[in-house]
């Protein structure tokens, strides 16, 4: 038996196309920021970073790439979920906060690995933590699953800030 789609299915299928394009856009944006940050990091991760005195709680180097990739993908899905809520009050502020925290995240890579300014990077990561907490709170008001997708990022940033502080103290 051949089943023809119901007429009511057609608008739903058409509505999925912009959603998937939007998701692809958020993933590409996140991966572009991740790639640029990775390129900046690569300039120092082999030469300068290994020479730093590190605290005992420093994770193995191989963990950073997969962890940040997962976090950026979670951020992309969270941002996309908010973007989809076109009539939600506070959406513009939430997406602005999302963009700001992405920029601050990239800025940290420039400060820490690009310019090797550990103390300034520590101040910047504190600002980044605030920006991510604000983004998470704004997302919560619009879409709780989107907000929950930001929690691993917020936790990892807290850990990264503690690591940055220890590196600053030790070096």
- pLDDT tens digits along 38-77: 999 998 999 999 999 999 999 999 999 999 999 999 999 9
Quick: pLDDT tens for 90-141: 999 999 999 999 999 999 999 999 999 999 999 999 999 999 999 999 999 9
Q: What domains are there in the chain, each with its CATH number? A: 23-170 (1.20.1260.100)
Is 19 in a helix, a strand, or coil?
Answer: helix
**Global pTM?**
0.88
The answer, yes or no, to whether residue 9 has pLDDT greater than 90, is no
Q: How many CB atoms lie within 10 A of CB 14?
A: 9
Give 130's contacts (C-beta < 8 A, 6+ positions apart).
none
Quick: pLDDT tens for 73-101: 999 999 999 999 999 999 999 999 999 99
Stated as kind and residue range, the H or E segment containing 141 is helix 118-142
CA distances from 55 to 52, 58, 111, 168, 169 (A): 10, 6, 20, 10, 10
Among positive and negative, which fits the CA dihedral 75, 78, 82, 84? Answer: positive
């Amino acid at each position: 038996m051949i089943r023809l789609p119901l007429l009511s299915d057609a608008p739903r299928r058409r509505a999925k196309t912009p959603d998937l394009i939007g998701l692809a856009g958020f993933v590409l944006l996140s991966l572009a920021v991740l790639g640029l940050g990775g390129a900046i990091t690569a300039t120092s991760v082999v030469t300068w970073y290994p020479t730093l005195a590190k605290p005992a709680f420093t994770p193995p180097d191989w963990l950073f790439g997969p962890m940040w990739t997962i976090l950026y993908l979670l951020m992309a899905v969270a941002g996309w979920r908010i973007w989809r809520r076109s009539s939600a009050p506070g959406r513009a502020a939430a997406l602005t906060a999302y963009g700001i925290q992405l920029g601050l995240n990239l800025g940290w890579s420039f400060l820490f690995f690009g310019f090797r300014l550990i103390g300034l990077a520590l101040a910047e990561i504190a600002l980044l933590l605030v920006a991510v907490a604000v983004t998470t709170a704004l997302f919560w008001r619009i879409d709780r699953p989107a907000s929950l997708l930001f929690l691993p990022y917020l936790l990892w940033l807290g850990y990264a800030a503690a690591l940055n502080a220890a590196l600053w103290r030790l070096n």
